[in-house]
Structure 1
Amino acid sequence: MRTAAAGKDNIRTLENAPRDSLEDLKPVLAKGGDKAAELLASEGRVYVSAEDNKRVLRKIDLVILPLLLIIYCLQSLDKTALSYASVFGLIQDTNLHGEEYSWLGSIVYVAQLVMQPLVSFMLVKIPLGKFISVMVFLWGVILCGMVGAKSFGALMATRFLLGAAEAAVAPAFIAVVQMWYRRSEQTNRNASWYAMLGVVNMLGSLLTYGLGHIHSSTLHSYQIIFLFCGLLTVVVSVFCAIFMPDSPMEAKFLTHEEKLIAIERLRLNQMGVASRVWKWDHVQEAFLDIKTWLWFSMLMAISIPSGGISTFGPLIVQSFGFDSFTTILFNIPFGAVQLVATLGGAFLATKIKKKSVVLLLLCLPPIAGLIMLMVIDHDKRNRGALLAGYYIISVYPGITPLIYSWSAQNTAGDSKRKVTTGILFVGASAGNIIGPHLFNPSEAPRYSRGLRSNLALFCTIIVLICLGMTYVTVLNKKHAARRVAMGKAAEVVDISMEHAKSLGERGEVLNAEHGGLGEKAFDDVTDLKNEDFIYLY
């Protein structure tokens, strides 16, 4: 390790920095402090320039981000394989009746709901890269097994196991983004992997269109879809095991100096990296924190329409009077709108540094689209208008990753972060369980009950966002008062939300100290107990 005295311009350490010295960190490490503190302890405080940040961030993006994108794309494809299979005879061939098809959509989320407590614990205790790789492999194998499911009971069993294996993926991805990226970078990265839903609705539709034309004497078209997606997932799990690191401290693609930079640039996130120590006081705070339940309610409210539309979307389009193959092709623009809304919403939220305002804006198009589907007559003359309403509704996927990012960026403490994410996914899973049951094939073509319910839920989300904005503002005022009482400045600059380019133009280092901020960053302290933590709205 080279120091400033050795002539290193881009990275320098203060060898006798009192805060990060090994002696000062011993009590923190003994109490289960963040693992990043152990690496920094031997080097002292590291100062990182904007050039350091850009260089290391590029390497992180080139390794971590492609893995997240590909894996989530496959997870989305595996989930939506059921909806594609529905237009290729799955319902008829397996003799599904009543709400049995709806239950096949819901059972995945029942499994995810049941698994969330265990997932939260494992995300703290088990190295993240290895955990993700194993779960990806398992769900690929299970999807292949769906080829042999020829009855409602067999399909329910395999779909439950699929949901159990997939339960860890999205919570793990949120943990990965928290572990590797500054707060100003997290929204776009979370949106990037979540935007794979839109990619799947485009490429998945084309893929399914092609696979559906394969004629086999032994396999139905939907069985070929299951087998192809499952085998592809198994292959990707091998690459994940090879290239996905467990943390910045253990990343083989980074040099020792780059590991220090990767950690230090996260200091003013005030969130730490990973402790791998389960703390029950963090768990208690997560359950008692009002923010947790506001975000839980938002995610449940948005997941109900998401679960219903993702399961019944192709059937809704088919109800406009299209055949199976045309229905699949008309689902492609739905995915394109999803992609634009998800990435566009994240870009705008990052630009203005406010997620709540963008969330409010994203609620408006789905409301308009739902009203169109409710009031326009379902006949061939109005198919263009009905499709337009359906496509407008597809803006809704942009809402979910912003809620995840809003929560992730306002929660500190390793155990608390994982538990909070688990609680949120319980809400999301519950919403996805309920969603498909608001629609029923017998209610085609209007699906009035589902559309009315979804309209009410989007209005509810608007109210919850306003409550969240108000509560976050109150918490910031409380922390400002605590800082004043401790002799610190009431108003501080949140460097973690500054863009690297603007910091470089002002000549600031990314971890510059402002009134003692960052002292508790790697102590594994929760956000409510850290007076330096700045909440975002």
Structure 2
Amino acid sequence: MSVTKASAAEAEYATPSPNPHQEGHDGNGSKDIAASFLAKNVAGQRVSVTPAESARVLRRIDTVILPIMLTVYFLQGLDKTTLAYASVFGLIEDTKLVGNQYSWLGSIVYLAQLAMQPPLAWLLVRLPIAKFTSAMVLLWGVSLTCMAAAHNFGGLLATRFFLGVFEASVAPSFVAITQMWWRRREQTVRTSYWYAMNGFTNMFGSLITYGLGHISSQLHSYQIIFLFFGIITVAFSFVMLAFMPDSPVEAKFLSDDDKLIAVERLRMNQMGVVSREWRNDHLKEALLDPKSWLWFALLFSISIPSGGISTFGPLIIKTFGFDSFGTILFNIPFGFVQLVATVGGAFVAQKIKMKGPVIAALCLPPIAGCVMLMVLPRDASHRASLLVGYYLISVYPGITPLIYSWASQNTAGDTKKKCTNAILLIGQSVGNVIGPMLYTQTEAPGYTKGLRSNLALYIVIIVLVGITSSYLKVLNAAHAKRRVAMGKSAVIVDTSLDSAEEVAAQQIRDDADKNAKNAEEGDVAAASTEVERPGERAFENLTDLQNEEFVFVF
């Protein structure tokens, strides 16, 4: 790492107080904590990061932060799907659930999450994110443990409600944590890693549940399941509290130099790190920004199928003619396909540097799967084909993390990021509430209404992808016009989706082009100057619409 003298424009981001005359700045002193950190450590200087240094710090971050996120999300997936596992071990019969009461147990978690999203947006801006999330993990572990003591619909409904209240923080917290630790290029795959834990849940959760179901005890099998997963969750909350830092500048596992590198790596994201200051103007912009509601619509549309299948998936397999243990075992490939689709889709999106086309492509296998389950008869001769159709549907989980990362990578400003996350997660919660309601026991074994609605929504998602991509192109064109009006270049080379090696190569090309141009003009002095680059306003806590240098990605 080296520190080079910055130009007057470049030094601006590092000063502790903002310029109230800048366009898009309200002059209220709001800054990202990264700006204060840089001002304190390298005031007036720009940190130059080599590809080797960037890779070394990235490995360090991946080694410490990622395992914690993976484990927490794995436990969250397990804890939420314990109801589905318990349903095949007599929960419905023993607790005398009737009508759509089982469906309500699936939906109540998401109703609680829906109610929690607005206050969570404020809490995630104001509170240290790692400590807050650790507390939520502890409380949802306690809630799950208490489910073992519930013997009727009322008790199960209450404990499932509190499980949803505390689990509501996981997705918005993890999206925010991913934004503050990784470059835009890296975020897509890292998001897929922690979201893919749902696949591990369906694989290893099924195996663990299979083992727990064979324990001889005075307790019911489903009570053992609740206790086992609940106690593990409580224990891991203390691990997260001990090892997860609240931001890169507060990370004890990074040296001071590595903290500078970790922050500088994020400059071209143009998204900042964290401010811990609530901004009402950011909230207003998030509510009025059409992008927010496009993300809402996308996540709502995929969450209806997700909520239905996650709650009724094992019961659908059971209609193929399997017993309880066979149902659990045949749910394992669902998790494997889900894992491959989630991580594979993210790698493809990273490779082509676009998410919209990948989301649309991932809708095609579930469309085929829905059609197969709707037309094939439920008999022994079609059992293999029915399983294939069910496994084709299991590709759909790869869509959700791509929507998470697509939305987060096109949103800047600390408060706006948290509010936008709340809006799209409200869409997810509403979809997950509706999803289980479309699958009712009275429609077994065909579940026609649920499958038909899911089929229609996959087609809606493809249409929404086209609309969203077109709107992002319009926003990029508008920013280009603003830059020209301000005397800047209309074109910005966005390197936030490039590898460290590609960034270094681009910088060499830019320097060579600038020097060649200046040399042709006979300006020898100018030929030796450093090429000016975007990013001077990256840590000013500006929104994506305020910062004319922000580049929207597809």
TM-score normalised by structure 1 residue count: 0.96
Structure-1 separation of matches of 2:4 and 2:273:
20
Query: Does residue 535 of structure 1 match 2:543?
Result: no
Contact 1:146–1:155 (Cα < 8 Å) also in 2: yes
Structure-2 separation of matches of 1:285 and 1:398:
29
- Assess, with a 3 A threshold, how the Cα gap between structure 1 residues 165 and 296 changes in structure 2: closer, same or farther: same
Structure-2 separation of matches of 1:518 and 1:323:
59
Query: Does residue 260 of structure 1 match 2:277?
Result: no
- Assess, with a 3 A threshold, how the Cα gap between structure 1 residues 407 and 432 changes in structure 2: closer, same or farther: same
Residue pairs, 1:341-356, within 5 angstroms: 341-356=341-356
Match of 1:243 in 2: 243
Residue pairs, 1:196-207, within 5 angstroms: 196-207=197-208
Match of 2:125 in 1: 124
Secondary structure of 2:77's counterpart equals helix
- Assess, with a 3 A threshold, how the Cα gap between structure 1 residues 414 and 312 changes in structure 2: closer, same or farther: same
1:101-128 residue CA offsets vs partner (Å, 9 max, x unmatched): 0000000000000000111001000001
- Assess, with a 3 A threshold, how the Cα gap between structure 1 residues 467 and 248 changes in structure 2: closer, same or farther: same
Structure-2 separation of matches of 1:482 and 1:398:
36
Match of 1:5 in 2: none
Instruction: Return 324-333 or 440-449, whichever deviates more.
Output: 440-449
1:20 Cα offset (Å): 3.2
Structure-2 separation of matches of 1:509 and 1:119:
45
Residue pairs, 1:114-193, within 5 angstroms: 114-193=115-194
Structure-2 separation of matches of 1:188 and 1:349:
9
Secondary structure of 2:92's counterpart equals helix
Structure-2 separation of matches of 1:303 and 1:216:
37
Secondary structure of 1:98's counterpart equals coil
Match of 1:4 in 2: none
1:25 Cα offset (Å): 3.1
- Assess, with a 3 A threshold, how the Cα gap between structure 1 residues 430 and 491 changes in structure 2: closer, same or farther: same
1:238-257 residue CA offsets vs partner (Å, 9 max, x unmatched): 11000000000100000001
Gaps of 5+ in 1: 1-9
Match of 1:478 in 2: 478
Contact 1:50–1:509 (Cα < 8 Å) also in 2: no
Structure-2 separation of matches of 1:174 and 1:108:
20
Amino acid at match of 2:355: K
1:501 Cα offset (Å): 3.0
Structure-2 separation of matches of 1:508 and 1:262:
22
Match of 1:63 in 2: 64
Match of 2:17 in 1: 26
- Assess, with a 3 A threshold, how the Cα gap between structure 1 residues 234 and 438 changes in structure 2: closer, same or farther: same
Query: Does residue 38 of structure 1 match 2:55?
Result: no
Structure-2 separation of matches of 1:59 and 1:507:
25
Structure-1 separation of matches of 2:323 and 2:441:
16
Secondary structure of 1:45's counterpart equals strand
Amino acid at match of 1:81: T
Structure-1 separation of matches of 2:473 and 2:74:
36
1:515 Cα offset (Å): 4.8
Residue pairs, 1:15-414, within 5 angstroms: 19-20=10-11, 24-27=15-18, 31-42=29-40, 43=42, 44-217=45-218, 219-414=219-414
Match of 2:522 in 1: none
Structure-2 separation of matches of 1:34 and 1:509:
31
Secondary structure of 1:518's counterpart equals coil
1:18 Cα offset (Å): 6.3
Match of 1:493 in 2: 493
Contact 1:503–1:509 (Cα < 8 Å) also in 2: no
Secondary structure of 1:273's counterpart equals coil
Contact 1:188–1:350 (Cα < 8 Å) also in 2: yes
Secondary structure of 1:12's counterpart equals strand
1:277-324 residue CA offsets vs partner (Å, 9 max, x unmatched): 000000000000000001100100000000000000000000000000
Match of 2:424 in 1: 424
TM-score normalised by structure 2 residue count: 0.93
Contact 2:12–2:536 (Cα < 8 Å) also in 1: no
Provide the identity percentage: 59
- Assess, with a 3 A threshold, how the Cα gap between structure 1 residues 480 and 381 changes in structure 2: closer, same or farther: same
1:486 Cα offset (Å): 1.0
Structure-1 separation of matches of 2:483 and 2:506:
26
1:48 Cα offset (Å): 1.1
1:15 Cα offset (Å): 7.7
Match of 1:518 in 2: 535
1:49 Cα offset (Å): 1.3
- Assess, with a 3 A threshold, how the Cα gap between structure 1 residues 443 and 23 changes in structure 2: closer, same or farther: closer
Match of 1:467 in 2: 467
1:485 Cα offset (Å): 1.0
Structure-2 separation of matches of 1:229 and 1:124:
30
Secondary structure of 1:471's counterpart equals helix
1:6-37 residue CA offsets vs partner (Å, 9 max, x unmatched): xxxx3324388664369843236961210110
Amino acid at match of 1:419: C
Contact 2:15–2:35 (Cα < 8 Å) also in 1: no
Contact 2:199–2:334 (Cα < 8 Å) also in 1: yes
Structure-2 separation of matches of 1:529 and 1:21:
16
Instruction: Return 481-490 or 314-323, whichever deviates more.
Output: 481-490
1:68-116 residue CA offsets vs partner (Å, 9 max, x unmatched): 1000000000001000000000000000000000000000000000000
Flag as ranges the 4+ runs of structure 1 deviating above 6 A. Answer: 15-18
1:28-57 residue CA offsets vs partner (Å, 9 max, x unmatched): 696121011001002132111111110110
Contact 2:32–2:541 (Cα < 8 Å) also in 1: yes
Structure-2 separation of matches of 1:142 and 1:105:
15
RMSD of equivalent CA atoms: 1.8
- Assess, with a 3 A threshold, how the Cα gap between structure 1 residues 30 and 22 changes in structure 2: closer, same or farther: farther
Contact 1:49–1:509 (Cα < 8 Å) also in 2: no
Contact 1:282–1:416 (Cα < 8 Å) also in 2: yes
